[in-house]
Structure 1
Amino acid sequence: MAKGLAVTFRHMLTRADTRQYPEVRPDLPARSRGVIALVEENCTVCMLCARECPDWCIYIDSHKETTPAPEGGRPRAHNVLDRFAIDFSLCMYCGICIEVCPFDALFWSPEFEYADYDIRDLLHEKDKLAEWSQTIPIPPAHDPGAAPPKEIAAATTPKPARPAARTAPGPRNTAVRAIRPPGSLPKKPGEGPGAVEES
């Protein structure tokens, strides 16, 4: 009890370390969860992020376009993104949308200065989300002591040597095996169309 009082008393006598924001910008960690940024060209409108969002705060609209194929091919239909919006008044920053995106279209950005006076203005469309994609930090380099990725390890592992071919041919098996259709049972002696019943 006395130790806790001494710590509290010491904090009362020391000056508070106050940063003069916005003149002094905070030094945020690289993995800060500030806002969700969109890399629009990576989005294939698979809708995984919108389906997995527990708050249903992602709104996506798209249409299909047909691309003519090269000569001899078939025209291909693909989705074109019309609208991608996130309502940050509903978002709880769980990061599920970023985790489930299979095409790396969503990232965390350390930006946090998007407060507004009206809650309806926290619905940000794809142009604003694309602006935030310019602030995505470069991922840190891999740990030098870590194991290499399995793809690189598989490519650099030498393949096992093939066994050497035999120089002298060995004895050949000249017995002829009967080939049965799949599922048929071997015939017993005395069965079949040419079998004769013994009396």
Structure 2
Amino acid sequence: MNIPGSGLAKGLAVTLRTLTRRTQTVQYPDAQPELAPRTRGVIGLFEENCTVCMLCARECPDWCIYIDSHKETVPPAAPGGRERSRNVLDRFAIDFALCMYCGICIEVCPFDALFWSPEFEYAETDILDLTHERDRLREWMWTVPEPPALDPAAEEPKEVAAARKTAEKMAAAQAAQAAQAAQAAQEAQAEQETKEAKEDGA
């Protein structure tokens, strides 16, 4: 059986509970929010790593990445070699009015040319200004945070493990060679002493 006014009492109880709790409101922009380490704010471009493979533009579901390039001929590195051609980046732009921040372009980049930056204050009054060219994308690179430290309980990366094993093998081989050389020197010294002793006895 419903008591008259019970709904109102429940609503007032919720209001009273809310009034006694600490507020979660951040007075932005006076107080900057504490962003998570993997915040997806804006995409930065490290163009030195870009090989113009076009993989990011092909995989982008929104087709918001625009890349222009041309080919240049590289002279042979050694006499008698052949000339090679390489792609040179002319334009790299991202239209953030279309971007849905899925991160596919960053994941598929094989040369680590794209990174997430936590910066998010790039609102514009004109939607056309949300197309960031490579110069502005390069500026976001300086705000990319350092990668998080590895978990101490995580497995050692395969590359590091392989390099460590190779170094250990080389160190063991060098130690074995040094031991053999020391043993050979001792044997030679012993033979020399035996020879001198025989000559003195004669």
TM-score by length of 2: 0.72
1:45 is aligned to 2:45? no
Tell me how far 1:150 sits from its aligned partner.
1.7
**Structure 2 CA distance for aligned equivalents of residues 138 and 93 of structure 1:** 20
Deviation at 1:124, TM superposition (A): 0.7
Residue deviations 1:150-184 (CA, integer Å, cap 9, x gap): 2223344578xxxxxxxxxxxxxxxxxxxxxxxxx
Q: Deviations over 1:3-54 (max 9, x none)?
A: 8874443113446343222222112111100011100100000000000000
The counterpart of 1:59, out of the listed 66, 70, 77, is 66
Aligned to 1:137: 145
Q: Residue 177 of structure 2 corresponds to which residue in structure 1?
A: none
Where structure 2 has 5 or more consecutive residues not aligned to the other structure, the ranges are: 1-6, 170-202
Match of 2:30 among 19, 23, 34: 23
Does the C-alpha gap of structure 1 residues 39 and 10 become closer, same or farther in structure 2, counting only changes over 3 Å?
same
Which amino acid in structure 1 is aligned with residue 25 of structure 2? Answer: T
Question: TM-score, normalized by length of structure 1?
Answer: 0.73
What amino acid is aligned across from residue 113 of structure 1 in structure 2? E
Alpha-carbon distance in structure 2 between the residues aligned to 1:113 and 1:156: 44
1:9 aligns to what?
A: 16
Letter in 2 for 1:28: L
Q: Match for 1:30: what amino acid?
A: P
Tell me whether 1:69 sits opposite 2:76 in the alignment.
Answer: yes
Matched, 1:110 2:118: yes
CA distance in 2, matches of 1:5, 1:148: 57
Kindly provide the CA deviation profile for residues 86-118 of structure 1, in whole angstroms up to 9, marking residues without a partner as x. 000000000000000000000100010010111
Question: Which of 84, 88, 97 is equivalent to 2:92?
Answer: 84
When residues 53 and 4 of structure 1 are mapped into structure 2, their CA distance, relative to the original with a 3 A threshold, is: farther
Secondary structure at the aligned position of 1:26 is classed as coil
What one-letter code is carried by the residue in structure 2 that aligns with 1:147?
Answer: E
Partner-residue secondary structure (3-state), 2:142: helix
Q: CA deviation at 1:75?
A: 1.4
Q: Partner letter of residue 83 of structure 1?
A: R
Matched, 1:35 2:42: yes
